[in-house]
Amino acid sequence: MEPSGPDAFYAAAARAAADRELNRKLENASTRHFEHLAVAVSEFAPYQSERDAARRIKEESIERLDELLAELKQRLEARGVKVFFAEDAAAARDYIVRVARQAGVRRVVKGKSMTTEEIGLNPALEQAGIEAVETDLGEYIVQLRREPPSHIITPAIHLSKEDIGELFAEKLGTAYTSDPPALTAVARERLREVFLSAGMGITGVNFAVAETGTLVVVENEGNGRFCTTSPDIHVAVMGIEKVIPRFEDLSHFLEILARTATGQRLTAYTSFLSGPRAADDRDGPRETHLVVLDNGRTRMLADPVLREALYCLRCGACLNACPVYRHIGGHAYKSAYPGPIGSIVSPSLFGAGAAGHLPFASTLCGACKEVCPVKIDIPRILLHLRWKMTEGGGGQVAWPQAPARVRAAAGWFARAARYPSMMRAAGRIGAFLLKPFGHDGYLRRMPGPFAAWTRVRDFPVPSGGNGASGRETK
């Protein structure tokens, strides 16, 4: 899913914010996540030192990216893996569709992969006449609803078990139930025959170890392992930033990833993949492909502030922590990557015209940085991106300029703010002019460009120099 500019975002965000049922589901899910996270962290004393170690490894990995990717490619190719570097989403899609067509594949099973969401793989496969079936339970549910995931870890976070029961009854013709084990059993039974008839499995990659040429996939349902071993062809898709130097580095990531993502000590399945099956292997794919995707990541790499976004493990914790995400959910962002991490990577991945508004969709409260397992300074990056948007240039991304009236107003304010006497005089004039329109000291509706403020909160009538505090909601 690709963002489609600010207007679509504002309209979807307003609808989502007014949806009380959605707000309740998101709040429940986020609260549960933090309860589990608190327990997982409290029983693991080295949590903070593991975060520091993981961050140091990511710093090193991004610093040595060229060298590590070359080493990874060489090790994998030596074992028969076909490695393809895709400059953009279209190149990655075309390559995967070509491999499927050449092998006569009619059905593909997919493990959960945000990178394939980013490149819009499912519609491309569908267009080529190839059925793509999501096999992660949450992804399977949202695919049945023909909608994108609304969270990078829990794709169906916006649905209740009752919603899923109704969906299965309607789409799969099963008797209605809202019992989670019964619903899981239905999906399991349906997917089993799909796995056995698929000619290709497609998954993401959580870590790619350069030293050993190992692709690591972590998941909880076993579907990822099925996708990588049962079909004749396995295609793994990863961003360039997933490479890490050494096998021993993995332990630090595995200690923190499951804890921050789901509050577990360890994910249920950790698969180490090294290539197609050998002559004496009893199972495994006959062909393995690795698609290594750039799609704007080298632009991030070239920006000294933004490059930190490449440390991301896609754990999803910053989404759960973010007051904006918790209010509007993932669909409103209209990006494969919603929430705080989405707001900092989407402009580079999808273009500033489509997603340059997302860095503004934040309160800058800092909760995302606090919870991030590799301590990415998301608020700093958000401010950096806002600066780029407002200044209308810098870096290698073609950032659109803020409208002339906004730049002019910001310039006037900057000049006035340098002179306290001028600010006091402006406050007194404002208080005099606005007082007649106030109720209990607040304005319910403001005209012109100020209307956006009072759409969601009241504005305090200026005190004329005595100070005033705002109130949050209408």
Residues in contact with ligand SF4 by CB under 6 A are: 312-318, 341, 371-374, 376
DSSP SS3 for 456: helix
Residue 111 burial (10 A CB sphere; 0-12, 13-18, 19+): buried
For ligand SF4, which is the closer residue by CB, 201 or 342? Answer: 342
Cβ atoms within 10 A of the Cβ of 16, count? 20
- 242/65 Cα distance (integer angstroms): 10
CB 155 within 8 A of CB 111: no
State in angstroms the smallest separation of the CB of 335 from ligand SF4.
13
Q: Rank residues 30 and 228 by Cβ distance to ligand SF4 and give the closer one.
A: 30
Pick between residue 99 and residue 315 the one whose CB is nearest to ligand SF4.
Answer: 315
Amino acid at 338: P
Q: CB-wise, 187 or 257, nearer to ligand SF4?
A: 257
**In angstroms, how far is CA 170 from the centroid of its own chain?**
30
Helix intervals (H) in 43-146: 47-63, 65-78, 89-102, 114-118, 121-127, 137-144
SS (H, E, C) 21-62: HHHHHHHHHHHHHHHHHHHHHHCCCCHHHHHHHHHHHHHHHH
Q: Which is nearer to ligand SF4, 124 or 315 (CB)?
A: 315
Taking the least distance from each CB to ligand SF4, the nearer of 132 and 261 is 261
E strands within 285-420?
Answer: 287-293
Residue among 316 and 395 whose Cβ is closer to ligand SF4: 316
* Nearest residue (CB) to ligand SF4, 144 versus 315: 315
Q: 72 or 371: whose CB is closer to ligand SF4?
A: 371
User: Which residues are CB-contacts of 9 (< 8 A; sequence separation ≥ 6)?
Assistant: 3, 332, 333, 334, 357, 358, 361
What gap in Å lies between CA 360 and CA 294, rounded to an integer?
25
Tokens, residue 444: 């319910």
Q: How far is the CB of 220 from ligand SF4 (least distance, A)?
A: 17
Two structure tokens written together for 135 = 């096999």
In terms of phi and psi (left: phi > 0; alpha: psi -120 to 50; beta: otherwise), the region of 309 is alpha
Closer to ligand SF4 by CB, 148 or 316: give it: 316
Report d(CA 150, CA 331) in Å as an integer. Answer: 5
CB of 340 to ligand SF4, least distance (A): 6
Instruction: Please provide residue 141's backbone torsions phi and psi, each rounded to the nearest 5 degrees.
Output: -65, -50
CB of 352 to ligand SF4, least distance (A): 20
CB of residue 22 to ligand SF4, shortest distance in Å: 21
CB of 378 to ligand SF4, least distance (A): 6
CA distance 51 to 63: 18
Pairing type for strands 459-460 and 233-239 reads unpaired
We find the least distance from the C-beta atom of residue 216 to ligand SF4, in angstroms, to be 16
Q: How far is the CB of 314 from ligand SF4 (least distance, A)?
A: 5
What is the nearest approach in angstroms of ligand SF4 to the Cβ of residue 184? 26
Q: Choose among 203, 315, 319: nearest CA to 254.
A: 315
Show the tokens assigned to 94: 């075309």
- In the bound complex, what is the minimum distance in angstroms from residue 395's beta carbon to ligand SF4? 20
Indicate the residue among 69 and 312 with the shorter CB distance to ligand SF4.
312
Dig out the tokens for 209 from the structure: 């170890």
* CB 30 to ligand SF4: min, Å: 13
